[in-house]
């Protein structure tokens, strides 16, 4: 009995010592967890439970995927293929370079028309400012003149519309010397004044016809380029057999560029034409004033000549 009790006590002591060591080892394991990316040892990896079928001779391994063939690659949808013909930058210059030849001609013509518009604007602005200033100065210089000769002397050798009017009046008075009717002389002088005024109006309006033509036709020329470009775009869409926006957008953008350039050429032309119409009207009013001043000087000379003749006859 005593031996049995001693054996049981020794067994309990051994079991308690073993359990204490296992508890300490478990605590250390919990304090130091293994790294997440650390691969498992070869002995700790689980074995695959999937049965592997034997491969017979002459048969392909089913675990190896077959390589993609050329037919499979060609079966890829066209909308997913890279587009090599589409320009990377849709700037006006790149769209012009990639446009159709007819659209290029239309765009070049519209740009040239816009260049003509601004050239006429600069030239006519300088010309009108110079001729108005000269005519105002000439009218101011002959305001106090009493005769045609005095007015011509005050102007000197200046070339202008008032000088032409004075020369025409003197020429008509010399040609009508000896004619007693003053009414006929004034009518003939007025006819010469009207011709000079019309010639001056034609000269000062030179270039405005181009502005009117550009302003009225440029939008339609740009619209023609747009229609042609959109037609080519639809033809390209039908050939490509896709409605991808990356394929459709460049052609339509090139077509709409023609309309934009047409409007950019037409709008300034119309505005500049209306501006010059007002300025030209003001200048022609000054020409009419100069014609009236020459007619008054001629009338004074005629009346003065008749008085001289009457005084001589009375003597």
Angle between the 161-175 and 182-204 helix axes, to the nearest 10 degrees?
Answer: 150
- Map 250-293 to HEC letters: HHHHHHHHHHHHHHHHHHHHHHHHHHHHHHHHHHHHHHHHHHHH
What pTM did the predictor assign?
A: 0.63
Q: Which residue has the higher pLDDT, 243 or 16?
A: 243
The one-character DSSP state at 42 is T
CA distance 262 to 113: 9
Q: Which residue has the higher pLDDT, 98 or 46?
A: 98
CA distance 21 to 37: 29
> In the chain, helix, strand, coil percent, each to 5?
75, 0, 25
Query: String of b and e for 294-315 (b: at least 16 CB within 10 Å)?
Result: bbebbeebbeeeeeeeeeeeee
The pLDDT tens digits of the residues spanning 256-306 come to: 888 899 999 999 999 999 999 999 999 999 999 999 999 999 988 888 765
The pLDDT tens digits of the residues spanning 233-252 come to: 787 777 777 666 666 677 77
Show Cβ contacts of residue 188 under 8 Å, excluding neighbours closer than 6 positions. Answer: 172, 176
């Amino acid at each position: 009995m005593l031996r049995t009790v001693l054996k049981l006590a020794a067994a309990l002591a051994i079991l308690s010592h073993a359990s204490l060591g296992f508890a300490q080892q478990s605590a250390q394991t919990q304090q130091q967890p293994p790294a997440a990316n650390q691969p498992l040892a070869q002995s700790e990896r689980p074995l695959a439970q999937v049965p592997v079928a034997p491969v017979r001779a002459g048969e392909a391994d089913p675990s190896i995927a077959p390589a993609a063939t050329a037919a499979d690659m060609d079966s890829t949808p066209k909308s997913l293929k890279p587009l090599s013909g589409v320009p990377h930058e849709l700037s006006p210059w790149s769209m012009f370079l990639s446009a159709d030849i007819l659209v290029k001609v239309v765009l070049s013509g519209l740009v040239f028309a816009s260049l003509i518009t601004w050239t006429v604007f600069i030239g006519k602005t300088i010309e009108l400012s110079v001729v108005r200033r000269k005519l105002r100065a000439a009218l101011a210089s002959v305001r106090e003149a009493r005769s045609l000769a005095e007015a011509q002397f005050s102007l000197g050798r200046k070339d202008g519309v008032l000088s032409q009017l004075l020369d025409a009046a003197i020429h008509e008075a010399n040609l009508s010397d000896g004619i007693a009717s003053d009414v006929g002389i004034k009518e003939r002088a007025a006819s010469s004044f009207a011709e000079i005024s019309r010639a001056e109006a034609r000269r000062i309006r030179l270039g405005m016809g181009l502005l009117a033509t550009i302003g009225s036709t440029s939008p339609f020329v740009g619209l023609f380029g747009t229609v042609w470009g959109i037609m080519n775009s639809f033809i390209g869409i039908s050939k490509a057999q896709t409605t991808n926006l990356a394929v459709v957008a460049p052609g339509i953008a090139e077509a709409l560029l023609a309309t934009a350039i047409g409007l950019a050429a037409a709008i300034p032309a119309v505005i500049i034409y209306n501006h010059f119409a007002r300025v030209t009207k003001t200048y022609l009013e000054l020409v009419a004033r100069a014609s009236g001043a020459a007619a008054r000087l001629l009338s004074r000379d005629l009346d003065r000549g008749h008085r001289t003749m009457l005084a001589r006859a009375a003597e």
